[in-house]
A and B are shown apart, each in its own frame.
Chain A
Amino acid sequence: MAKSIASRTIARHQPASASPARSAAAWVSGAPAWQIARKAPLLPTALIVLFVVFAVFAPLLAPYDPTRIALPQKLTPPVIFQGGNPAYLLGTDSLGRDVLSRLIWGARVSLAVSASVVVVSSAVGLLMGLAAGYIGGRVDSFLMRFADGSIAFPGILIALLFAISLGPGVWTVIVSLSVLGWASYARIVRGEVLRLRNLEFVIGARVVGCSPARIMATHLLPNVLDAWVVLMTLQIGLVVLSEATLGFLGAGVPPPTPSWGSLVSDGRNFVDTAWWISFFPGVAIMLLVLCVNYLGDWLRDTLDPRLRRTRQPGAAPSI
């Protein structure tokens, strides 16, 4: 199958990951994993943990109900500006709803949806990549046809289509973003499998009589996990941005549930009078993506120090 030169050149700048093949037992026992985790950069990790804590404990931490309307206090600026009210730290929106509370509750939706999408798309991609890489032949061509097709396409349009045909809702968002996302994982995993399948331990396993399923599970899987995890950390940021974009366009989780993207959209018409409504959710999105990307970079550098810093598999600018 002719791979597009475009995809191969991006691939050439990926790691020729020469991590030695590990057995399943070594990976699972986790000794290297914990040692790595101990050295993680502090600030990004702490911020991410903070976001997660806010999301999980939203009912306890948010000062107000996010849908509580208080028209007399509408369009209050944040507390440090003139006209601010200490009761509403980040100000209120056009219906008097507290921005801070909506931000905290919005973290729930944004983080939960993004995490789900990453879990689903990475799992599906892993399976497809293993199958395509190891079985090869027609299965490979068939699967990769789907994968290649979805890589460069502006996914936002397809996601919008899904939203209007399946109806807006949490599951629609998860499904549409997962459909768009699995292909990158499949590509990377397939590449690793192609590299691994000719190594001696795999050939040995075949000779001994292991079934393809067993080979994939016990021999191939632990050794593709490095690249797969690295891609995951890179994709999380993209997923968060995509989910926010869908929310902004009105194709995400429907109101009244606040999500960061829809919060920015709420403030769009009030930019001239009440900039804070759009400002803070956007900052939250940006911070989260920054931290996740920083962690991803660090993880990639740690797992294979010979990697160049700037590998971005198939990352077209996200819309």
Chain B
Amino acid sequence: MGRYLLVRFIESMVTLLIVSMVVFVLARSTGDPVTLLISDQATAEDMARLKRQLGLDQSLPVQYWVFISSAVQGNLGKSITDKGDVARLIAERFPNSLTIGAMALALSTVLGIVLGVAAAVRRNTWVDKSVRVVAVLGQSMPSFWLSIMLIFVFSVLLRVVPTSGIGTPAHYVLPVAVLTFLALPLRTRLMRSSMLEILGAEYVKMARAKGLAEGSVIWRHAVRNALSPQLTSFGLTLAFAITGSVVIETVFAWPGLGQLAYQAMLSRDYPLIQGTVLLVAVFVLAANLLVDVLYVYVDPRIRYD
């Protein structure tokens, strides 16, 4: 088991390395930052000096090595547009993404379990059908459109929440709502499907035959065993939540990591682009690894091949 986790860790590192290379190459090909930064009257000397300053006169592999070695030490370079440390910018923005992400994660987990169980237990009744409709809708709606329409209904028409930005607790409502609604379908469906599978199992019949109250049968016996796929989707949703949704943060002008990455791309700020995308990759891989570690304790039936 320890060996399995070690292998998974190494695999994650390799993936991270590949991602960093892809990001590096793509970011560097966005155009020459020197021409973006310099004024029109600059001489060739000035351009050369700026190039040396930014380290762009080195060969590509050397630049990559510099990037990687300083990244590992926590130095992700300086943002071209903001002139600040990339690492500091990320550290400022990240908590904002984390808060709405965590809230959406918690809400979608709780709601997903409750709705999934309800749908499975009352299969093919209106409860089941309406849960399935909600799930299907959540997977079909474009996130940006849902955000805009919710802004229209609740901010413009009803005036109960502010349209965008951050500040009061009311600002959190819409972004969290959208994130939750998008994460809900997967959790609900998985819960429902695994509950349906479990409810047909022998030990459930046994529990009922013993005379246990239905509620006890469902919650104490069935649900516990149906939870394991939830852990996997928890990992997926965790990654989604941590990294923040680029689109949702952009629509709500939410100063998080996703919006930072998007703005970096718009302004061709390659150190910032590299830093944010790399960090997103780190978090996603870490989330998946975490899920694997937790699985070891949650489900003893998993085999490691």
Contact = CB atoms under 8 A, between A and B. Distances in A.
Contacts of A319: 143, 182, 240, 245-248
A268 interface: yes
Contact of B197 (A9, A10, A308): A308
Nearest to A287: B140
Interface string A1-23: 11111101110110000000000
A309 interface: yes
Contact of A278 (B139, B148, B248): B148
B262 interface: yes
A6 B190 contact: no
Contacts of B196: 308
B96 interface: no
Contact of B262 (A145, A153, A249, A279): A249
B152 A271 contact: yes
Given A149-B19, A271-B148, A161 B277 contact: yes
A272 B232 contact: no
A2, A10, A146, most chain B CB atoms within 10 A = A2
Majority-rule SS of B interface residues: helix
Contacts of A6: 232, 235-236, 288, 291-292, 295
B246 A156 contact: yes
A113 to B, nearest CB: 15
Contacts of B223: none
Contacts of B148: 264, 267-268, 271, 278, 282
Given A2-B8, A5-B295, A160-B265, A237 B236 contact: no
Nearest to B273: A161
A319 B101 CA distance: 13
A315 interface: yes
A76 interface: no
B171 to A, nearest CB: 17
Contact of B140 (A2, A153, A289): A289
B26, B29, B237, most chain A CB atoms within 10 A = B26
B273 to A, nearest CB: 7
A293 B137 CA distance: 10
Contact of A310 (B192, B247, B266, B304): B192
B141 A286 contact: yes
B15 interface: yes
A12 B299 CA distance: 14
B7 interface: yes
B26 A154 contact: no
A142 B197 CA distance: 35
Contacts of A250: 266
Interface residues of A, number: 62
Contact of B145 (A148, A162, A282): A282
A115 to B, nearest CB: 18
Interface string B188-213: 01101110110000000000000000
Given A160-B262, A285-B145, A319-B143, 16 more contacts: A1-B11, A2-B11, A6-B236, A148-B11, A152-B287, A156-B247, A161-B26, A241-B142, A250-B266, A282-B149, A289-B140, A310-B193, A312-B186, A315-B139, A316-B239, A319-B182
Interface of A: 1-6, 8-10, 12-13, 145-146, 148-149, 152-154, 156-158, 160-162, 164-165, 237, 241, 244-245, 248-251, 261, 264-265, 267-268, 271-272, 275, 278-279, 281-282, 285-286, 289-290, 293-294, 308-312, 315-319
Interface of B: 4, 7-8, 11, 14-15, 18-19, 22-23, 26-27, 29-30, 136-137, 139-146, 148-149, 151-152, 156, 182-183, 185-186, 189-190, 192-194, 196-197, 228-229, 231-233, 235-237, 239-240, 243, 245-248, 250-251, 261-262, 265-266, 268, 273, 276-277, 280-281, 284, 287-288, 291-292, 295, 302, 304-305
30 contacts: A2-B305, A6-B232, A6-B292, A9-B295, A10-B233, A149-B19, A153-B281, A154-B240, A156-B247, A158-B26, A158-B277, A160-B265, A161-B26, A161-B277, A164-B30, A164-B268, A165-B27, A165-B29, A165-B30, A241-B140, A245-B142, A249-B250, A271-B156, A278-B148, A286-B137, A286-B142, A308-B197, A315-B139, A317-B185, A317-B237
